[in-house]
Structure 1
Amino acid sequence: MRGLWITAAIVFVVDQATKWLVVQYLNLKEVGAIDVIPPILNLRMAWNEGINFGLFSDAGDARRWILIGVAVVIIAAVLYWVRRDRMQGLALISAGVLVGGALGNVIDRLIYGAVADFLNMSCCGIQNPYSFNLADIAVFAGAIGLILFAKPQQD
């Protein structure tokens, strides 16, 4: 489990540091948009009050606490599953990536009332209207990693 906690801590710190750097230091919250490598990589400030792609963003303040609760339950379920099945190696790392990302977005909801999304990528003439953050990538990558690598340890 040590690998899970180290990975979760690294992902959490990197996520929060990038959010601070982009939102506060580069002042994206006021500037709104910064082109980095247009159109492939841009910074576009978006406060996501809902879930992916802004779903449930109009459900009021109760939604914030419900989404925090759902994230905490998911984190607890992943931790229970990993411990119960005595997962090792890449499964533990994947769980740590997922947990660190989920905690990063929970902290955003607690501090800002919404998740700070700022990465925007478009390509090949298709304009992507959505933004995301490193925690979103971590949750997705961690879930995929668990699907691929979660095998219980044999007794």
Structure 2
Amino acid sequence: MTFLTVMQFIVNIIVVGFMLTVIVIGLIWLIKDKRQSQHSVLRNYPLLARIRYISEKMGPELRQYLFSGDNEGKPFSRNDYKNIVLAGKYNSRMTSFGTTKDYQDGFYIQNTMFPMQRNEISVDNTTLLSTFIYKIANERLFSREE
């Protein structure tokens, strides 16, 4: 055997090994997606769901440079949609007290045609409702632990 045939044999082994590794990892990923019970999209359409989750993670960067802003859009803006999804899907309504509006220094008072009276502002908090809010333990690119 010549040196070139030995090198070609080694390269073929490396290429076949790489292809088998990719196939085995893909099958393990597919079986893992089919057996999980949290995301029906991953269970039914694993490849499309992976593409969807990757594009969701890349979305803010793409919107920053290529598409409309977070406060634009019809019938509702990206911020409105995000607030609905966070409250509905993740059951997390905790947001910061900041704003994205560019206010000047000083007071910001919003006028109203019919201001509420003092007795309308008081609320009876004696009756409690039993609720459950999910907490996300760890969110990664392809998975989420709740």
The TM-score, its normalising length taken from structure 1, stands at 0.26
Greater fraction of residues in strand: 1
The TM-score, its normalising length taken from structure 2, stands at 0.27
Q: Which has the larger radius of gyration?
A: 2
